Amino acid sequence: MIIAPSLLAANFGRLEKEVARVNTARADWLHLDIMDGHFVPNISFGPEVVRTLRSESRLFFDVHLMCSKPAILLEPFAQAGANQMNIHVELGDATVTSLLWKIKSLGVKVSLAINPPTPISLARPFLPLVDSLLIMTVNPGFGGQSFIYEMLPKIQQAAAWRQERGLNYHIGVDGGVDFETAPECACAGADAFISGTTLFHRHNLTAAVRKMRKAVEGAATPPKPIRHKAS
Ligand code: DX5
Ligand code: ZN
């Protein structure tokens, strides 16, 4: 199980100290939200901030590009130290295909993100190519929003496809992930839990990460064995 605090909920006035909290919290990934004020109605930070934080942390950096033109940002974020980059399926099939291969060519893991209104079927053709699928459980742009429960069937579908097709991508959830919604996602098949407000706003981040890990590990159902049809 991957627990990934989302830096968007950190205190931006003391980012290095906030990253130091994550370094010692036994989290698995640090999720970094990049917003361009166009794909989403908010602006966050760019590659220079990621590069600066890279020298402060050995964590796996999971960069979430909520941007209309991610093609121009892939190299800068790869050079800044991203370990994985998430791009959005809403950019369209041709763009997504070229971005996925470009990310792979940079030696960075690739994740496909999908917004709440977008049918999960649009992600299906890309699943053999990705390391992770990121199911947005809020409309992206802001932290602290309420989890959209209608996304649970998408998680179940993504888990079913993973099982049926013998793939091993992570299924991540992002938005409104707290100590109650995370276990529900785990039960549906998610294994990567992006959480901003719930983790960062706790005084003791280490305890919060431990609590979330315990909650999702207790809720997860072991994968069913693949049934091969008799020929
Ligand atoms: C939302 C971002 C999330 C955000 C989650 O647009 O992609 O990563 O930080 O924040 P919480 O956990 O507060 O909903
Ligand atoms: Zn995110």
Ligand 1 contacts (CB < 6 A) are 6, 8-9, 31, 33, 64, 138, 140-145, 174-177, 194-198
Please name which of 113, 163, 120, 162 lies closest in space to residue 139, comparing C-alpha atoms.
113
Assess whether 131 carries a catalytic annotation: no
- pLDDT score at 223: 60
Q: Which residues of 38-63 are buried (b: 16+ CB within 10 A; e: fewer)?
A: ebbeeebbebebbeebbeeeebbbbb
Q: Which is the CATH superfamily of the domain at 2-219?
A: Aldolase class I (3.20.20.70)
| Distance of CA 195 from the midpoint of ligand 1 (Å) | 6
- pLDDT score at 201: 95
**Best substitution site from 146, 174, 193 to test ligand 1's pocket, by max atoms within 8 Å of Cβ?**
174
- pLDDT score at 220: 84
Please name which of 107, 123, 195 lies closest in space to residue 162, comparing C-alpha atoms.
123
- pLDDT score at 175: 98
CA 114 to chain centroid, in Å, comes to 10
The residue whose CA has the least distance to atom 10 of ligand 1 is 143
- pLDDT score at 228: 62
Q: Which of the following is catalytic: 36, 62, 93, 174?
A: 174
| Residues less than 5 Å from ion ligand 2, measured at CB | 33, 64, 174
Please give the average pLDDT of every successive group of 10 residues along the chain, which has 231 residues: 98 97 98 98 98 98 98 98 98 98 98 98 98 98 98 98 98 98 98 98 97 95 62 52
Q: Which residue has the tokens 């839990």?
A: 193
Q: At what angle do helices 181-188 and 205-219 cross, to 10 degrees?
A: 40
Dihedrals phi, psi of 190, to nearest 5 degrees: -75, 150
Domain ranges of the chain: 2-219
| Distance of CA 210 from the midpoint of ligand 1 (Å) | 19
